[in-house]
């Protein structure tokens, strides 16, 4: 399966003290580049998310946003903080010892004391467990999106490969005819330039130039590279770097074909091949 480096996923879960959400956005990049946007109070969850993302993705720029919304969870449970009550009791006793006539604390005073009335909060272990589960769900959703786009990219590349094969098959039979016409034209020019030169020298010169314009080797290498592109697409996995290398090799052969073209038909074929290769290269840049 071929995966694109472009994808999006967002998931959320309701917890005791609020709603935890994860949003993942990915675009193409040469390497795996993970950027986090995490509130300070959730920074401890960043290593968990980084490990989960690194285990699933090999390339792409990843923007991971982690949020915790208390409003989404509705009214939050409240409870007395036993430790805060004990500390306040001790302080009140010390005050009464120093000031026997001091007014005792009322219930409202106790409840207003900082830390005595604690809202229900999510424990760190619960947050870590929830973040791990959400990261798995987000990555599943992201992977599905990247796979769908990757399948489309692979289809586009296969169409371009088929078009290139057609062009190579069309121009192949024209090569001998083009070479013969070029050699005859060259021979006439040499006769005009050299005058009474013997036929042996003409044959030698023509043979040298004939080797320079023979494009059969380039056509064969083009076919081999196209076979490899289809093999890589069929194998799937992290194929982006391999396909990018093959695009460079295809472009090299097309350039050589253009420089050695002995006829307008071969030259036109080389230009069309270069256009198709460029179209494939643009798609390959988005493959993981």
3-state SS of the chain is CECECCEEEEEEEECCCCEEEEEEEEECCCCEEEEEECCHHHHHHHHHHHHHHHHHCCCEEEEEEEEEECHHHCCCCEEECHHHHHHHHHHHHHHHHHCCCCCCCCHHHHHHCCCCEEECCCCHHHHHHHHHHHHHHHHHHHHHHHHHHHHHHHHHHHHHHHHHHHHHHHHCCHHHHHHHHHHHHHHHHHHHHHCCCCHHHHHHHHHHHHHHHCCHHHHHHHHHHHHHHHHHHHHCECCHHHHHHHHHHHHHHHHHHHHCCCCHHHHHHHHHHHHHHHHHHHHHCCEC
Quick one: pLDDT at residue 281?
95
List, for the chain, all residue ranges whose pLDDT scores fall below the cut of 70.
17, 71-80, 115-123, 176-214
pLDDT at position 202: 57
What average pLDDT does the structure give for the chain?
83
Judge if pTM exceeds 0.75.
no
Q: What is the pLDDT of residue 232?
A: 95
Q: Write down the architecture of domain 148-284 according to CATH.
A: Up-down Bundle (1.20)
pLDDT the model gives residue 199: 62
- pLDDT at position 73 is 41
pLDDT of 209:
54
pLDDT of residue 206: 54
**What kind of architecture, by CATH, is found in domain 7-73+125-146?**
2-Layer Sandwich (3.30)
Q: What is the pLDDT of residue 185?
A: 63
pLDDT number for residue 72: 41
């Amino acid at each position: 399966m071929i995966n694109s480096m472009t994808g999006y996923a967002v998931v959320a879960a309701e917890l005791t003290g609020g709603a935890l959400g994860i949003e993942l956005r990915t675009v193409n990049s040469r390497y795996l580049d993970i950027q986090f946007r995490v509130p300070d109070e959730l920074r401890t969850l960043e290593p968990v998310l980084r490990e989960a993302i690194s285990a699933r993705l090999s390339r792409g720029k990843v923007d991971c946003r982690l949020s915790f919304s208390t409003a989404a969870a509705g009214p939050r449970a409240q409870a007395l903080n036993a430790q805060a009550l004990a500390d306040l009791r001790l302080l009140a006793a010390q005050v009464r010892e120093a000031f026997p006539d001091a007014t005792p604390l009322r219930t409202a005073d106790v409840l207003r004391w900082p830390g005595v009335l604690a809202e229900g909060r999510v424990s760190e272990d619960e947050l870590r467990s929830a973040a791990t589960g959400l990261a798995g769900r987000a990555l599943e959703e992201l992977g599905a999106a990247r796979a769908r786009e990757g399948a489309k990219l692979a289809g586009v590349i296969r169409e371009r490969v088929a078009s290139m094969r057609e062009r190579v098959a069309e121009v192949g039979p024209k090569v001998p005819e083009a070479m013969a016409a070029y050699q005859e034209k060259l021979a006439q020019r040499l006769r005009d330039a050299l005058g009474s030169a013997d036929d042996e020298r003409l044959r030698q010169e023509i043979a040298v130039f004939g080797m320079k314009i023979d494009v059969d080797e380039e056509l064969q290498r083009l076919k081999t590279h196209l076979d490899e592109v289809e093999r890589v697409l069929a194998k799937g996995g992290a194929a982006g770097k391999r396909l990018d290398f093959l695009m460079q090799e295809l472009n090299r052969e097309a350039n050589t074909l253009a420089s050695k073209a002995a006829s307008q038909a071969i030259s036109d074929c080389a230009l069309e091949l270069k256009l198709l290769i460029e179209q494939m290269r643009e798609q390959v840049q988005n493959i993981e």
